[in-house]
Amino acid sequence: MLRCVTRFAPSPTGYLHLGHAHSALDGWRRARAGGGRFLLRLEDIDPGRCRREYAVGIEEDLRWLGLDWDGPVRVQSEHLAEYRAALDSLAARGLLYPCFCTRQEIARDIAASLSAPHGPDGPLYPGTCRGLSEPERARRIATGEAHALRLDIARAVACVPAGLSFHEEGEGRVACQPQRFGDVVLARKDAPASYHLCVTHDDALQGVTLVTRGADLKPATDLHRLLQVLMDWPEPAYAHHPLLLDASGRRLAKRDRAATLRDLRASGVSPAEARAMAGFG
């Protein structure tokens, strides 16, 4: 039987809370139950929000919780050339285009359009830069104008066989509709890659066979499957878990200091109690 490889892939933008503990324990338990592998990956490509102290804190908190992981921690910011190569491959097929728009310009164009379609992450990019000519793109890039790289979603979808789907534990095949995201950003102006690209790249590279993560990321799986097929990366299975809620029924967030593992530890909670609070007693 194929041994399962799972991972926990937090972004070091804050300290871990009980929701993260739930995700980490879910992946760890599944791997350890079947003699598989459990990997830790720091998704730190956003230089504005990620901090070294949080990265160090994540490892400390996971060890305190009683988790261990296999092999070295993969730190995404140390692998930017690999993401660049994936972007180059998509660009060579005409699937990416430079987008020079500012946030304000995008908001203005959305406000001015008669129908502003919404996707899972909010209003869709109205396509302002999609139609720029090659000479215009080259000129603006040559002048050093900051630009993101967007996926031309219509072209990308046209490149893959119809009927794209993924396997969700307990549900079977789930149909994907990546068009719902519009022309997503795969490389940001201020960061050389984006979450969607890096997460799919790394899950493939690291041989992850089962992606365990919160249900908030389930819609993004449509896009991840599209990238996997475009890049000829293997397809993992998925098990999205319900998000942990606080006493008032709101989902836990990094701003909820009381629920961070550090604060629980400081207030005398034991690792076993924290595991139970995270749903794994």
How far apart (Å, rounded) are the C-alpha atoms in residues 44 and 256?
21
**Is 199 an interacting residue with respect to ligand GLU (CB under 6 A)?**
yes
77 versus 152: smaller Cβ distance to ligand GLU: 77
**Do residues 214 and 15 make contact, with C-beta atoms less than 8 angstroms apart?**
no
**Cβ neighbours, 10 Å, residue 125:** 23
Residue found by looking up tokens 């008032």 in the block? 248
138 versus 215: smaller Cβ distance to ligand GLU: 215
CA nearest to 37, candidates 208, 203, 164: 208
**Is 213 an interacting residue with respect to ligand GLU (CB under 6 A)?**
yes
Q: Which of residues 9-38 bind ligand GLU (CB under 6 A)?
A: 9-11
Tell me phi and psi for residue 221, to 5 degrees.
-60, -30
Query: Shortest Cβ distance from residue 199 to ligand GLU (Å)?
Result: 5
Query: Shortest Cβ distance from residue 48 to ligand GLU (Å)?
Result: 15
**Do residues 166 and 174 make contact, with C-beta atoms less than 8 angstroms apart?**
yes
**Is 240 an interacting residue with respect to ligand GLU (CB under 6 A)?**
no
Query: Shortest Cβ distance from residue 219 to ligand GLU (Å)?
Result: 12
110 versus 217: smaller Cβ distance to ligand GLU: 217
69 versus 97: smaller Cβ distance to ligand GLU: 69
Q: Which stretch binds ligand GLU (CB under 6 A): 4-12, 132-140, 180-188, 268-276?
A: 4-12
**Cβ neighbours, 10 Å, residue 49:** 13
Q: Which stretch binds ligand GLU (CB under 6 A): 8-16, 47-55, 121-129, 251-259?
A: 8-16
Q: Which stretch binds ligand GLU (CB under 6 A): 6-14, 80-88, 139-147, 239-247?
A: 6-14
Please, what's the b/e burial string for 147-185 (b: 16 or more CB within 10 A of its CB; e: otherwise)? bbbbbbbeebbeebeeebebeeeeeeeeebebbbbbbbb
Query: Shortest Cβ distance from residue 221 to ligand GLU (Å)?
Result: 9
How many CA atoms within 13 Å lie on the side-chain side of 138?
3
Catalytic residues: 254
**Is 243 an interacting residue with respect to ligand GLU (CB under 6 A)?**
no
Beta-carbon contacts of 260 under 8 Å, excluding residues fewer than 6 positions away, are 14, 15, 16, 17, 254
Query: Shortest Cβ distance from residue 183 to ligand GLU (Å)?
Result: 21
Q: Which stretch binds ligand GLU (CB under 6 A): 5-13, 184-192, 234-242, 270-278?
A: 5-13
43 versus 222: smaller Cβ distance to ligand GLU: 43
Q: How many residues bind ligand GLU (CB under 6 A)?
A: 7
Query: Shortest Cβ distance from residue 43 to ligand GLU (Å)?
Result: 4
9 versus 210: smaller Cβ distance to ligand GLU: 9
Q: Which of residues 39-68 bind ligand GLU (CB under 6 A)?
A: 43
Residue type, position 162, single letter: A
The string of DSSP letters for 57-81 reads HHHHHHHHHT---SSPPEEGGG-HH
Helix (H) or strand (E) holding 105: helix 103-112
Please, what's the b/e burial string for 52-70 (b: 16 or more CB within 10 A of its CB; e: otherwise)? eebbebbbebbebbebebe
**Do residues 250 and 43 make contact, with C-beta atoms less than 8 angstroms apart?**
no
Query: Where does this chain bind ligand GLU (CB under 6 A)?
Result: 9-11, 43, 199, 213, 217
